[in-house]
């Protein structure tokens, strides 16, 4: 049965608080498993990696060559696609590229009245590690969503890791890698892949895979935890764990749409979170009934059912404003708005990875080819993380070039501030340049 809660009922605050804490609890419980795996990769290199792949992915590679995915494999997979699939992937590639191209920022320079130049220089990172999920399912869309922003940014070295159960890579995933022109790819998944990205891979003192500068890509709770643990040694896009969707709807919303949209996230993972916030008790009951009718027919019904039972639910709210307040606290990965005058309420929505407005905009269209990125913050981290973007793969450097007139004008106040902080050499450094 789908759980239906009411904001007016006793104990709701505590129950909802537990949902809000979902991400923190998940990551904390996974740390004791992930930490030793990362340390093995860091200290034992290739030997540890081969052992971990054999342990988790069901095949026994003898050396690094057994983990390599070749460009020839990817090209063959692409050639074997039917025309409908090729067309769909290229439509997605073109739309995602067009959207992300608009994100790219340009370096800028400005001068003040003294002729001093200030500015900001944008440069791509040198090496990116892209994690592509491939455990319970393979996601060619994740290849496009991660590779395209890196390519648009101008990253020169892109390394892809993806889990391949029994050593078999999904042909659709390989085809997407071919479309993106990726050259370096490995059959490595989970925390092991994050360890390789963060520390590089060595054997007998020789570097086999260099460490990357930034890691991007979604994954399960172990991948998200590993990214959290290595952050600081490398950059990361965000903490992206199990999928989430929240829907705000009033009595005018279509229950058939809502039920399917909730299940679209539930079928990802048993730990996925699917929640409806509605002002209508009738809609709540209709959606719950539709979900129970649909569940047995889904190919992944066991996964979806576990998700709905343990992480899903419906919250009946007194009004739309209350629903928005709760969603802002939840900070969901995906937020669908299915109520009248939704655009007028957008300023009130503060925390969401991606917002889908109107009944004709299912979250699924964003997963594949709307254009914006589908790699989004989860577990409440939409309060401080943004979607994967071109910015993920770029960094900014400040530019400062003072003229003689400029340093003459500002040396004294600079020296004064340095003296206030007790930094005498700073003071001298500024004053010595006065003409």
What tokens does 353 get? 């990875």
Residue 361, number of CB atoms within 10 A of its CB: 17
Q: Tell me: is residue 268 an annotated ligand-binding position.
A: yes
Catalytic pick among 334, 336, 363, 374: 334
The contacts of residue 118 (CB under 8 Å, 6+ apart) are: 109, 110, 111, 112, 398, 399, 400, 401
Angle at 257 between CA 26 and CA 382, to 5 degrees: 35
Q: Is 333 a catalytic residue?
A: yes
- DSSP H/E element including 97: helix 83-101
Q: Tell me: is residue 243 an annotated ligand-binding position.
A: yes
The contacts of residue 306 (CB under 8 Å, 6+ apart) are: 270
Cβ burial 381-417 (10 Å sphere, 16+ → b, else e): bbeebebbbbbbbbbeeeeeebeeebbebebeebbee
Cβ burial 331-358 (10 Å sphere, 16+ → b, else e): bbbbbbbbbeebeebeeeeebbbbbbee
Q: Are 225 and 194 in contact (CB under 8 A)?
A: no
Q: Tell me: is residue 367 an annotated ligand-binding position.
A: yes
Q: Tell me: is residue 419 an annotated ligand-binding position.
A: no
Catalytic pick among 267, 333, 359, 363: 333
Q: Tell me: is residue 265 an annotated ligand-binding position.
A: yes
Q: Is 286 a catalytic residue?
A: no
What tokens does 240 get? 């992206």
Q: Tell me: is residue 389 an annotated ligand-binding position.
A: no
- DSSP H/E element including 367: helix 363-368
Helix, strand, coil shares, percent, the chain, to 5: 50, 20, 30
What are the residue numbers of the active site? 333-334
Q: Which positions make up the binding site for Zn(2+)?
A: 265, 268, 367, 426
Binding site, by residue number, is 243, 265, 268, 334, 367, 421, 426
Residues making up the annotated binding site for substrate are: 243, 265, 268, 334, 367, 421, 426
């Amino acid at each position: 049965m789908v759980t239906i809660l009411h904001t007016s009922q006793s104990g709701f605050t505590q129950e909802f608080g537990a949902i809000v804490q979902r991400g923190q609890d998940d990551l904390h419980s996974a740390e004791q498993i992930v930490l030793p795996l990362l340390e093995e990769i860091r200290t034992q290199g290739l030997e540890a990696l081969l052992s971990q792949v054999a342990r988790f992915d069901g095949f026994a590679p003898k050396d690094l060559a057994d983990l390599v995915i070749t460009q020839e494999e990817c090209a063959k997979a692409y050639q074997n696609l039917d025309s409908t699939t090729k067309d769909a992937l290229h439509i997605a590639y073109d739309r995602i590229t067009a959207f992300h191209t608009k994100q790219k920022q340009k370096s800028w320079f400005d001068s003040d009245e003294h002729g001093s130049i200030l500015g900001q220089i944008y440069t791509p990172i040198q090496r990116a590690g892209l994690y592509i999920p491939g455990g319970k399912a393979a996601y060619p869309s994740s290849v496009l969503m991660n590779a395209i922003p890196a390519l648009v940014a101008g990253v020169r070295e892109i390394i892809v890791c993806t889990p391949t159960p029994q050593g078999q890579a999904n042909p659709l995933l390989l085809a997407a890698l071919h479309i993106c022109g990726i050259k370096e790819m490995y059959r490595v998944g989970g925390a092991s892949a994050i360890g390789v990205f963060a520390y590089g891979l060595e054997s007998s003192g020789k570097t086999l895979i260099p460490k990357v500068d930034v890691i991007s890509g979604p994954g399960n709770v172990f991948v998200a935890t590993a990214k959290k643990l290595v952050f600081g040694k490398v950059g990361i896009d965000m903490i992206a764990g199990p999928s989430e969707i929240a829907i705000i709807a009033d009595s005018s919303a279509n229950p058939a749409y809502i039920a399917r949209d909730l299940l679209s996230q539930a079928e990802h993972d048993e730990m996925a979170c699917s929640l409806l916030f509605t002002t209508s008790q009738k809609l709540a009951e209709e959606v719950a009934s539709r979900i129970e009718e649909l569940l047995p027919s889904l190919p992944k019904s066991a996964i979806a059912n576990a998700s709905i039972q343990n992480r899903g639910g419906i919250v009946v709210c007194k009004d739309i404003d209350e629903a928005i307040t709760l969603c802002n606290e939840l900070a969901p990965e995906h937020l669908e708005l299915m109520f009248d005058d939704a655009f007028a309420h957008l300023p009130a929505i503060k925390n969401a990875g991606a917002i889908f407005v109107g009944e004709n905009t299912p979250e699924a269209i964003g997963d594949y080819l709307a254009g914006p990125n589908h790699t989004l913050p989860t577990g409440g981290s939409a309060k401080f993380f943004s979607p994967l973007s071109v910015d993920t793969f770029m960094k900014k450097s400040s530019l400062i070039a003072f003229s003689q007139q400029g340093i003459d004008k500002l040396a004294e106040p600079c020296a004064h501030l340095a003296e206030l902080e007790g930094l005498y050499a700073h003071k001298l450094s500024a004053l010595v340049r006065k003409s």
